[in-house]
Structure 1
C-alpha cells in the first residue's frame, strides 16, 4: 500500500507543478466595458483562435526554479485586432521560453471589434499596461526579477507591444489599486512581423479598421503610428520580419528600426528573404527555424 500511496502523491505533486496560473487582469471593474449578450468564442482547429474576449487575463507559465533566469516575457498574440492566435503566437512561445529558464506570460487582451467595449482604441493598451504591472506585482512570488520583464508581440499583437513600449506612461485608465502604481514600461521588447504604422502606405488595413474605425482622424493615425512615438526611453528592441510578407509589409519593421537608431535605442533586426506572414516559431521553414535562437541569445545578452 505504501508504494501505491507514494506514487499517487508523486503524481499529484507533478500535476500541481505542471499547471499554469491564470489571473484576471481586472478583479473589480473592467475599464471601458459594458454588459452585453456577447459571448467569448474559442475555435480550435489547426490553431486555437479566440474572439470577442470578455474577461481579459494573463496565463502564467513558469520554468523550474532550478533553471529560472529571473527573466520574464509577456506574450501578445496577433490576429488583426479581430482574434487572438492563442497557441500559435502565445502558449507555444511560453513553453519555449520555459525550456530556456524564462517565464512566459500569455496575455488574453480585449479586442476593439467587440461590442462589449467602449472607446475601442483604448482597451488593448489598457489591458497591456495592467498585464505588465500585474507581473511586476507578483514578481517575487513567481521568482521573476521585476527589472527584467520584457514583451513580445506578433502582427497586430506587435502593434500592441510597440504601443506599450512607446505609450507606457500614457494614462489610459483610472488607477484602481496598488498594482497601478507600478511602472508599465517593458525592460525590453520583441516585435515579430509587427504592424507599426497606421499610415496609408504600409499599414495593415484590417488592424487599423478594427482599432481605429472606418475614418480615423489624422491625429489618431499619428498617435498610433508607433514609429512616430519612439524616444530615447523606448526599451531595447529586437525585430524579425520576412521580406515577402504580403500581410504586413516589411517596411513596418524598417520604419521602427530607423526610429530606434535615430534615438540611439539599442536595436537588433533580422529580415529573412522569405517566410510570408505569421510564421510564428518558423519550424515549417528550415531557414526560419533558428530565429528564436537569435532572439533568446539577444535576450541573454541584455
Structure 2
C-alpha cells in the first residue's frame, strides 16, 4: 500500500527521469520451465498438500500459488539481450508465492534494459518437505545453477547473474546470497555442477531476522513452526550468516512498513558493513510494505536506484 505523500514525491521525481519512462515491451517472450525436470523436487515423500492457484484481484494475471509441489521458472527473454540475467524471487510470507506465469512489471522493465529474467515459484517450508526451512533455498540454488547451465543457449554471461527478492522472497534471496555453497540436496543431474552464488543481490523490504524483537511473525511461524528453538531462529536469520564471500548487496525498505519491521533491512546492512561487503541501504519515507514499478506511465525512482547498484557491482560486466 502507498500513501498519497509517497506517490506525489516519487511521481514528481519520476517526471525528472524521462530515460526510465518506458512502456512494457511486447517483443520480449516468456516461457515457463519445471525447475527440477526430469526429476521430482527432493524431500517430498511426506508432502500431502494439494497445490492451489488463487486470484488476488479481478486481474486474471494477479495470482498466487499455495502448497507449491512443482516449482518453476518463468523466463523472460528480451528483444535485445545484453548477456546479463536476474533471478527474481517474489514474496508471500511463506504462505504463498505471489507470482504470475504471465510475468510482471519488474521483469518487464528489466527486459527493456536487456536483462534476461527468471522469476521463481518456490516451495514453501510449512508443507512438510524434508529440507524444512531450507526448502526454498534448495529451489533458489537449483534456479541459479539452471540459469548458468543454460548460459550458452540463452546468450548469457555466467559471471553476470544476480538475484532480487521481495519481502519473504528477500529472505530467500538472502539465504542464497549467504549460503549458496551449502549442500542442501544431493545433486540430481549435471545442472548441479554449476555455481549457485549470485554475482550481486538485492533484498527489497525483506524478511531478514527470525530473532526477537524484529522477526516477522507470519514468516517465522511458516518457516520454523510455533515454538522454534533459539538455534533454529539463528540458523534462519540472514544477518548472522553474512561472510566474506557474500556478494555485493542492495537493501531497500520503507520507514512506515507495518508488515516487516524496517529494522530487518537495517540489521542486514549492518552485517554487510561489518564484513566489509559492498552494500547500500535505502529506506524510503511514506511507503508501507511494497510499492509498484510504475505510476502514471512513469517508472518510479526506486527501480533505477536498485538497477544502478546491480550494474555497478557485476550485472553490467
Shorter-chain TM-score range: 0.7 to 0.9
Distance of 1:227 and 1:101 partners within structure 2? 32
Show the 5 A alignment for 1:253-268: 253-268=265-280
Q: Which of 92, 112, 133 is equivalent to 2:145? A: 133
Is 1:41 matched with 2:52?
A: yes
Residue aligned with 1:141, SS = helix
Q: Are the aligned partners of 1:246 and 1:277 in contact in 2 as well (CA < 8 Å)?
A: yes
Q: Is the 8 A contact 2:29 2:78 kept in 1?
A: no
Match of 1:142 among 143, 148, 154: 154
Partner of 1:167: 179
Retained in 1: the 8 A contact 2:85–2:118?
yes
Label 1:86 to 1:141 Cα distance change in 2 as closer, same or farther (>3 A).
Answer: same
Residue 29 of structure 1 and its aligned partner are, at CA, apart by: 2.9
Which of 67, 73, 77 lines up with 2:90 in the alignment? 77
TM-score normalised by L of structure 1: 0.88
Aligned partners of 1:93 and 1:104 also within 8 Å: no
- After the TM superposition, list the runs of 4 or more consecutive aligned residues in structure 1 that deviate by more than 4 angstroms: none
Among 45, 56, 61, the alignment partner of 2:71 is 56
Change (3 A) 1:44 1:146: same
Q: Distance in 2 between matches of 1:163 and 1:91?
A: 23
- Alignment counterpart, residue 92 of structure 1, candidates 105, 112, 124: 105
SS at match of 1:58: strand
Contact 1:234 1:265 in 2 (8 A): yes
Match of 2:281 among 269, 276, 280: 269
User: Match for residue 203 of structure 1?
Assistant: 215
Shift of 1:37: 5.4
Following the alignment from structure 1 to structure 2, what is the Cα–Cα distance between the partners of residues 18 and 231? 37
Q: C-alpha offsets along residues 173-210 of structure 1, whole Å, 9 cap, x if unaligned?
A: 01111111111101000100000000021110110110
Aligned to 2:302: 291
Structure 1: give runs of 5+ residues left out of the alignment.
Answer: 1-14
Aligned length: 282
